[in-house]
Amino acid sequence: MSNPTFFVQECPVCGRRLLVRVEYLGRRVTCPHCQGSLTATDPATMRCDCTVTGNALLRRADELLETVSHRRLLPR
């Protein structure tokens, strides 16, 4: 008897991390915690253009740092 192989996927409804059997890839599954429905997909094989998100985050961080710098220069 072989051990099943699992991957971790987050439930889009409750946010819990689920162990999903590899055999269920591409199938609709139900979260045992909240009964939410999701399609089993391996996040390691999903493509993501993280540069767009990363650049937006860096710009926002720069804006926040600039705000803090200006506040330090204001007299109290």
For residue range 17-66, list pLDDT tens digits in order.
999 998 999 999 999 999 999 999 876 665 545 555 667 777 777 877 78
Does pTM top 0.75 for this prediction? Answer: no
pLDDT at res. 76: 57
- What whole-number distance in Å separates Cα of residue 10 and Cα of residue 21? 13
Domains of the chain (ranges; CATH) run 6-73 (2.20.28)
CA atoms within 13 A on the CB side of 30: 3
